[in-house]
Each structure stands twice: as C-alpha cells, then as structure tokens.
Amino acid sequence: MPIVNRVADLHTEITAWRRDIHAHPELLYDVQRTASSVADKLKAFGCDEVVTGIGRTGVVGVIRGRKAGGKVVGLRADMDALPIEEATNLPYKSTVPGKMHACGHDGHTAMLLGAAKYLADTRNFAGTAIVIFQPAEEGGAGARAMIRDGLLDRFGIQEVFGMHNYPGMPVGQFALRSGPMMASTDTIAVNLEGVGGHAAFPQLAVDTVLVGAQIVNQLQSIVARNVDPLQAAVISICVFQGGQTENVIPQRVRLGGTARSLSPEVRDLLQKRVREVVEGTARLYGAKAELTYTTGYPVLVNEERRTAFAAAVAGEIAGKDKVNADCPPLMGAEDFAYMLQERPGAFIYLGNGDTAGLHHPAYDFNDEAIPVGTSYWVRLAETALAG
C-alpha cells in the first residue's frame, strides 16, 4: 500500500492526538477543548491562517502551496462526540461520564490534522488547501452553521471533500458512490390527547395507547404503499410514551421517530403523508393529534466528476481493487450534505476493520486506519491542486 512515507512516520504522533481527543469527548458545539487543541496545532504547523469561531466553535486552517495557482479545495473533519457511556477498558477511554467518541470523529480530526502538518511542511501543490474542523455533526447541523458564518465564501472554497470511517469494511479499503449516498433525516413528534379513564371502562374513554398503536402501524403503510418500490424510504417510530399505571387509560401519549429518504420528491411525499395519517387516524378514533415534523439534514449527494476523482485518489493509496466506487447508499445521515449542496465534491468511507458499530458503547476508531486516511487527504490535496 503506497502510504506517503512521511505520513507513516507521523503515525505514532497522530495516534497520540487521536487518543487524547478520545479521552476528552465534547458534545455538539461545546467542543472548546478540542477546537483549542486543533487551532494550537495548526498554528504550530505553520498554517498561513488559522481562524476560530466559524460556526460558533469551528476551526479553519489555510495552507497555501509553494506553486502559483488560484484553485481552493476544502477538506473537512468533524470534532464532536456522542452522549453515550463508554463500555471499553481502553487506557485512553473517556474521562467524561456519559460522553464518548462512538462515531470516530476523534480519528477524523486526528487524520486531517496529520494531513495539515504534512501539507504545511511540504506545500508541494499549487493553490490553497483549506482544512475544516467542524463542530456539531451529531444532530446540531454544524456544517450549516459554518456555511452561514461564511465558511465557503470567506475562504473562496471551490470544491469540498469529506470522509467517514466504516466499521466492518477492512482497513485499507474505501467506498463511495456518485449521486445520493446518504439519506435526508427528518424528525416526527406527535402529541396525542384523548380522554383518560379507568381501564375497566374503556367505553367511557378515548384510548390514546390504542390510537398511538394504530398510528405506528398505519405509518408503515406509507413506505409500503405510497412510495415507489424502486425508491428508498424508511419511517421508524422509536418513542412511545404514555401511562403511569396498569389500570388507567392515559389522557396523553407521545410518539417520536424519524423519516428518511434519498430524494427530495420522496422526502416531500413522506412529510405530506405522515401528517395525513397521523391526523386522520387520531380523528378516526376521536382523539386529537399535534404533529411537529422537523426537517433535518438533506440527502448527501456526491457530484459525479469529483466522485470519480476521489475514487482515483483512493485507488492510488489502496489499490484500485480496494475501492468500491459504486457502494449502495445508506439510510444514515450526515450533515456534510449541506456543504455538498453549496459546492461540488465527494464524501468517502474509510475501512475501520472488524470493530463495534458506529454509536455503540464499545466502538473505538481503529488507529491502523490512520496512515490510510491521512495519506488519502494528502494525495487528494496535492492532486486536486497539481496546477
């Protein structure tokens, strides 16, 4: 595997950065320690500019090549952790109760830092590489916040690339696809109100548990009978709360869940039909339903030419046979989608080996993937900015 030699030499140092971040997880926009550490390192590397506070706590480093060129490429990593109690016995396990890096953002940040150190030292390219360290990917739309704070226009970014580790895919392999690659994610919240009463006299009540159960069942008919079978969609109700005791029909029930799709048209259809099903079913049983349908991250769409470019770069690092350039789309979501709405680019998966899955309390980023991911960033920047 043609790992950049100097990157291989940095493996131990990058691993130490990664493990320090892992031991000190921070959530959403509250990533002050991580962002400060990132900014300090970028300054020590000799970046031409280091700007903090983009999108509240995001950090941006500017690295100009030693050759003339006007092209500007953005490379993005996420910094935030998850509100999960870590279930490992690692020597660098989380020191913060209830928080852990269960999605590998510690590895993403460390690998991009390693690439920044290499690029700032060598500058063997024309134009400008922008390294982007983003907060609040895990539900906080940090990418959108950075865009609204002027990230893309302020630094003149013309193309943007992202990367995420993928448990279950061998280390040294990559996967991506052109077009829709990850789903939009919208949130469903339903408050039902009926008539509470004694469980022995249901005829005198309007049973919100029954109504809620019917709504959960009927929502599944949307995907089964309203969405084109050749399209992708999922509706999952994951919260059903109501009642305090076994012999009382509750006055109120709360439902919560998510709706996901891979196209704007299906996304609009889901929103329309969810409302019709929720309100219609509640009315059928004599209850009242208050639906809050919140649109979240958009569909992540890789641009065709940049996807082919990213696949070619990955092939140089791993070998063409280790790059799946037509992987199936996933119904998971990623707020890098906001950046791809504004600029052409591509998102790629990096093999994390045989590890626990993402968002699992036993997950840990595989440090053996560090030279592969860091070399990808280096080669991508140098190739995109070849002049």
Residue whose C-alpha is closest to residue 49's, from 133, 131, 162:
131
Distance CA(46)–CA(95), nearest Å, equals: 31
Q: Sorting pLDDT into bands at 50, 70 and 90, what band is 8?
A: confident
Distance CA(174)–CA(323), nearest Å, equals: 5
Q: Which helix (H) or strand (E) holds 74?
A: strand 67-78
Burial class (CB in 10 A: 0-12, 13-18, 19+), 321: exposed
For residue 290, what pLDDT is reported?
A: 98
Distance CA(376)–CA(310), nearest Å, equals: 9
For residue 5, what pLDDT is reported?
A: 66
Render pLDDT for 169-201 as a digit per residue (tens, 0 to 9). Answer: 999 999 999 999 999 999 999 999 999 999 999
Q: 241: how many CB neighbours lie within 10 A of its CB?
A: 11
Give the rounded distance of the alpha carbon of 213 from its chain centre.
Answer: 31
Distance CA(220)–CA(223), nearest Å, equals: 6
Q: What is the pTM of this model?
A: 0.95
For residue 293, what pLDDT is reported?
A: 98
Characterize the bridge pairing of strands 58-64 and 49-54. antiparallel
Q: Rounded to 5 degrees, what angle do the CA atoms 36, 41, 42 make? A: 100
Render pLDDT for 88-106 as a digit per residue (tens, 0 to 9). Answer: 999 999 999 999 999 999 9
Q: Any idea of the CA torsion for 206, 192, 264, 220, to the nearest 10 degrees? A: -40
**Average predicted confidence (pLDDT) for the chain:** 97
Q: Rounded to 5 degrees, what angle do the CA atoms 352, 353, 359 make? A: 55
Instruction: Say if residue 3's pLDDT is above 60.
Output: no
For residue 53, what pLDDT is reported?
A: 98
Render pLDDT for 210-238 as a digit per residue (tens, 0 to 9). Answer: 999 999 999 999 999 999 999 999 999 99
Render pLDDT for 339-349 as a digit per residue (tens, 0 to 9). Answer: 999 999 999 99
Quote the percentage of the chain above a pLDDT of 90.
97
CATH numbers and ranges of domains, the chain:
5-182+299-384 (3.40.630.10), 184-295 (3.30.70.360)
For residue 1, what pLDDT is reported?
A: 45
Render pLDDT for 97-139 as a digit per residue (tens, 0 to 9). Answer: 999 999 999 999 999 999 999 999 999 999 999 999 999 999 9
Distance CA(130)–CA(175), nearest Å, equals: 23
Distance CA(311)–CA(159), nearest Å, equals: 15
